[in-house]
Structure 1
């Protein structure tokens, strides 16, 4: 058997060379991956107006949440009232306290032994435009 010679391809178990190995040409990706401008038509047309409206409503929710957080952060009496009412299961009192900070958006609340979960919702009953979730811990 002949010794191996780099650059020459040989059949396994054969004595004759089969010829030089030719490198493959790289694949032109343009034919396989459409660019952003060449989007397939299976996607719907893009309308930015609802997205922009949702962003504006989200900013309003964040301002309301900011007022609530500011009050909780700087008033230990207010924070204690919310925690006490939540632990006693007085949901209406918790809502009243939160509304007193200027939160007017619809909200859903959940209390756990570790904290409170608030979901502020903007929109109508049929259509929700945006939601803002706040999760605040009151236990270490």
Structure 2
């Protein structure tokens, strides 16, 4: 049952209207009752046709970024000397040396390294048709 105090535009005592299939203990003061029994939108939203071309290209570029990230991580994990050089350059705030060292791992994508006293953040970027389509960020701690 749904009690509505203003049925047919006339104020007065609440009248009871039965809506089949709904709860019988809802009152007019219930927000749940109002939202459940009244829906102004009776049409269905039409979505445009999807074009997965850019999404697919972005996924392909991300695959390349993941391979490049794997190369960097393998070099950092396997070579203590390389890791020491990267840390020393980062502590000296030598951005260009850090990026040059990372490029020597054989990566193809653009890499930007940022660092702080706690660690190193690597941002690998790929672009499709001149716009950034994929970005992979790796955060490594050294302290």
TM-score by length of 2: 0.68
- Structure-1 residue corresponding to 2:76: 72
Matched residue SS, 1:101: coil
1:102 correspondence with 2:106: yes
Aligned equivalents of 2:19, 2:123: Cα separation in 1: 60
Q: CA RMSD in A?
A: 3.1
Question: Contact 2:98–2:113 at 8 Å: present in 1 too?
Answer: no
Runs of 4+, deviation exceeding 3 Å? none
Provide the aligned length of Structure 1 versus Structure 2.
117
Q: C-alpha deviations, 1:74-101, integer Å up to 9, x for none? A: 1111111100000001111111110010
1:117 and 1:24, CA in 2 relative to 1: closer, same or farther beyond 3 A?
A: same
Matched residue SS, 2:136: strand
1:134 and 1:125, CA in 2 relative to 1: closer, same or farther beyond 3 A?
A: farther
> Where in structure 2 are there 5+ consecutive unaligned residues?
1-17, 23-35
- Structure-2 residue corresponding to 1:85: 89
- Structure-2 residue corresponding to 1:25: 21
